[in-house]
Structure 1
Amino acid sequence: MADMTKRTLLATLRGEHQATPPIWLMRQAGRYLPEYRALRAKKGGFLELVNDSAAAAEVTLQPIKRFGFDGAILFSDILVVPHAMGQNLWFEEGEGPRLAPRLVDHALETLTAVPQRLDPVYETVRQVHAGLAAQTTFLGFAGSPWTVATYMIAGQGSREQAEARRFAYRDPVAFQALVDAIIGVTVDYLSGQIKAGVDAVQLFDSWAGSLSPAQFERWVIAPNATIVSQLKARHPDTPIIGFPKGAGGKLPAYARETQVDALGLDETVDPAWADASLPKSLPVQGNLDPLALIAGGAALETAVERLLSVFADRPHIFNLGHGILPDTPIENVEALLRMVRG
């Protein structure tokens, strides 16, 4: 008889191979769910949801109640870190997050830290931890320093991260100081999540793919290695997932040098290449194309079968290559679960 209290996702992160891989989906708590849309409309916006701990806990648990995923991912945002560092944070309807003052125009020293802005997140973690089933792994997260810095410098997201890349070349000393400051807050923030009840954490580096190899080494690998090292010193038993989106051929170096416990793969990575290039004992997470999930049918079935086949002999967490999209049909998510779980 299966052990209904075993956290298979947590065991996989610790290197244990499962006959059936555990599954969760990035952005699984989000706009594709009618219950999420209803609660967001009631609360008035995204940031209002994040800062309402009871509501954020409810959102975190919504996909677990509906689908029974093996992992629950904290409902929050990577930009709560610059908010705690002293930038103002708000969301423009239909356009995304905004931060001010922009650090392309203002020095880091002009910011006044407001660490209590993170308190609602810790309370959300405590509430989710209290309401989560024994077999479900609870995942916390933070943005990696490079990605967070791009938002802090430009004041918003951008596909090319041109302002941050120019800043890093023009004044590497000042950019290093910003990255170091983000590292310090991030380590404390993730440690706070762990103390409040998460079982593992993920580092999201959404814009890692925009850097040259030398810049990737300095602004992605080195900062993440520092976070992993410092966090492991405080919480040696807590697994850390690294997700450097767009890293491509630099993934083996990232895995080797950061010493993350598991590696997230985006949808552009050939799973056969990843399986051949990464250490056999390293757990991998991913990497179904979110658009294949929207397409459903034979396209979804073929993609799922390939991933299950390629990663059959290593610790594997089934996931998307990036976040689930708002127009994803719920019936396709249900079909995905049936495919993965047999």
Structure 2
Amino acid sequence: MKPFLDVLAGKATARPPIWLMRQAGRYLPEYRAIRSQARDFLHFCYSPELAIEATMQPIRRFSFDAAIIFSDILVIPDALGQSVRFAEGEGPRLEAMETPEALKGLASALDEEKLEPVYNALRGVRAALPPSVALIGFCGAPWTLATYMIGGRGTPDQAPARHFAYQHPEAFQSLTDLLVEACTRHLCLQAEAGAEALQIFDSWAGNLPERELRRWSEAPIGRIIAGVKARHPSVPIIAFPRGIAGGFSRFVSETNCDAISLDTACALSDIRKQLPPGMVTQGNLDPLVLINGGSGLDAAVDHILESTAGLPHVFNLGHGILPPTPIPHVEAMLRRVRG
């Protein structure tokens, strides 16, 4: 019995299963202890032993209902031949593709051999997990990946990619098509390596106008989900289109995702009324309220529990857990959710 998978199948449970985005990471002292064993972050992701250990650490400490493989969304551009590196304290740095001609330097298909360490880590985690804990694989959505690939780094409003899409729509469509195929293949290989559920992160969907949201976020994610389901129909897929405000009902309809992950800004009770009655939701606790703890955290947890009572819901954050998060606050949250 795996409560997380039960809920993704549409079953309401006595208490919601819980996991946290970025639950393996810098807020854990045991993670910081092993981080120094890799020469850089990408090497960490491609070291199965380290990735397995990082994935298992929060499961050992908190007994979450799901583990998400320790990796990064930017392994896909790396496996397509784009230069990717992580600068300490600055985040990812890619060789920016500012013109259509730059896209010609990409491979025509995913370098699966380069990503084999990720699949090996999945196999290792699956073998090590307790029987009740599910394993999640993931990828970035084409739009979010494109923002990094074109901008060369994270940008506040994703302006480089938006300019590129407006100025060179055919080239941008070609890049999107390539990323759809790469993401589909990467998710399928993760499922074949042991992932029991998959999540697609479109972290920058919220900066797209409605027409562009349909074209560059909803349509590509829908194609990825259809492609994965054609090979792995029983593997549930969660979509996380961060920041799209009131567009969740259409997003669910257009992509056919099995569950929708909601960001911090969502009014959870209102969104639930807009979605089909049996639709699975995930989220949307504010990572900052988790940092602050106390009565504010208790009230926020209670609000989510009350808003989703009797409905299929996965308790999670509205974005990734932040490095300054005190471990006692995570423990207090877990006691309240499970109490």
Query: TM-score w.r.t. structure 1 length?
Result: 0.97
1:275-307 deviations in whole A, cap 9, x for unaligned?
Answer: 111111001000000001011010000000000
Q: Name the SS of the counterpart of 1:249 in structure 2.
A: coil
Q: Name the SS of the counterpart of 2:94 in structure 1.
A: strand
**Alignment match of 1:104 (pick from 85, 94, 98):** 98
1-side partners of 2:73 and 2:227: how far apart?
Answer: 19
Unaligned runs of 5+ in 1: 1-5
Count of residues paired in the alignment: 336
| Aligned residue in 2 for 1:190 | 187
| Aligned residue in 1 for 2:46 | 51
Q: Give the drift of 1:165.
A: 0.3
1-side partners of 2:144 and 2:38: how far apart?
Answer: 28
**Alignment match of 2:295 (pick from 295, 298, 305):** 298
| Aligned residue in 2 for 1:217 | 214
2-side partners of 1:22 and 1:296: how far apart?
Answer: 20
2-side partners of 1:307 and 1:94: how far apart?
Answer: 33
1:247-279 deviations in whole A, cap 9, x for unaligned?
Answer: 111111101110000000000001111111111
Q: Name the SS of the counterpart of 2:36 in structure 1.
A: helix
1-side partners of 2:326 and 2:182: how far apart?
Answer: 37
Residues 13, 310 of structure 2: 8 Å contact kept: no
What percent of counterpart residues are identical?
50
Equivalences for 1:184-263 in 2 at 5 Å? 184-263=181-260
Equivalences for 1:12-161 in 2 at 5 Å? 12-100=7-95, 102-105=96-99, 106-112=101-107, 114-161=111-158
1:189-228 deviations in whole A, cap 9, x for unaligned?
Answer: 0000000001000000000000000000000100000001
2-side partners of 1:103 and 1:250: how far apart?
Answer: 30
Letter in 2 for 1:232: K
1-side partners of 2:36 and 2:97: how far apart?
Answer: 32
Query: TM-score w.r.t. structure 2 length?
Result: 0.98
Moved over 6 A (4+): none
- Over the aligned positions, Cα root-mean-square deviation in angstroms equals 0.9
Letter in 2 for 1:139: I
Q: Give the drift of 1:134.
A: 0.6
Residues 150, 157 of structure 1: 8 Å contact kept: yes
Residues 85, 115 of structure 1: 8 Å contact kept: no
Q: Name the SS of the counterpart of 1:117 in structure 2.
A: coil
1-side partners of 2:315 and 2:256: how far apart?
Answer: 21
1-side partners of 2:262 and 2:305: how far apart?
Answer: 14
Letter in 1 for 2:131: A
Q: Name the SS of the counterpart of 1:28 in structure 2.
A: coil
2-side partners of 1:240 and 1:201: how far apart?
Answer: 5
